[in-house]
Amino acid sequence: MSGGGPGLGWLAYVALTIVTWGLYGLLLHAGQQAMGDPLNGRYKAFLFVGVAYLLTAVLAPLALLVLRGAEWHLPGRGVGWSLAAGVAGAVGALGVLLAFGAKGTPAVVMSLVFAGAPVVNALVSIAIHPPAGGWGSVRWPFFAGIVLAALGGFLVTLYRPAPAPPPAKAIPAATAARP
């Protein structure tokens, strides 16, 4: 599938990202809890997110570049922006873990992240790369979408599901049988 043509093949990659990023918060929360360390579990989970990035985002592209015989000219500007993107992603992942540690649930935290991030992206993108004709040329449905995304985040927070009660402790059979 080529993302450069006029077709819609790029949507398959968008779908891949939606599914994987949609699962990200749930998997991260599960990893944090499975560490069995209420004080440091989130940092242990974050460490393994870094290991996964090393495997997925460092070693895999390095192997592809070597296999494709890429030239190794790396312009400073490209390296700088790419490192900034990596730092932004890592800080965001840490923010998600800290939100979980502060009693946020995956359903609410990730809904807010995925409602708020597109708003930030849209506004900053238009500020950096203004459309032909300036802000005045942006049609009202664009702004309506931003307002609806923000409203969605507000509603998810306001009407978040109540957490499940803690499981009842089982009474040992020998204790329960005593008169």
Cα atoms found within 13 Å of the Cα of residue 36, Cβ hemisphere only: 0
For residue 116, give the nearest of 149, 163, 75, 159 by alpha carbon.
149
pLDDT 10s digits, 63-81: 999 999 999 999 999 999 9
Where are the domains positioned within the chain?
7-70+82-104, 105-161
44's tokens = 């242990």
Q: What pLDDT is stored for residue 1 in this prediction?
A: 47
Task: Report the distance separating Cα 105 and Cα 111, nearest Å.
Answer: 10
Indicate whether 10 pLDDT > 80: yes
Is pTM beyond 0.95? Reply is no
Closest CA to 96 of 50, 32, 5: 32
Length of the chain: 179
Q: What is the distance, to the nearest Å, from the Cα of residue 1 to the centroid of all Cα atoms in its chain?
A: 25
* Predicted local distance difference test score (pLDDT) of residue 173: 63
> What CA–CA distance (Å, rounded) separates 118 from 129?
16
The distance in angstroms from the start CA to the end CA of the chain is 72
pLDDT given at position 174: 60
pLDDT tens-digit map of 121-134? 888 988 899 989 88
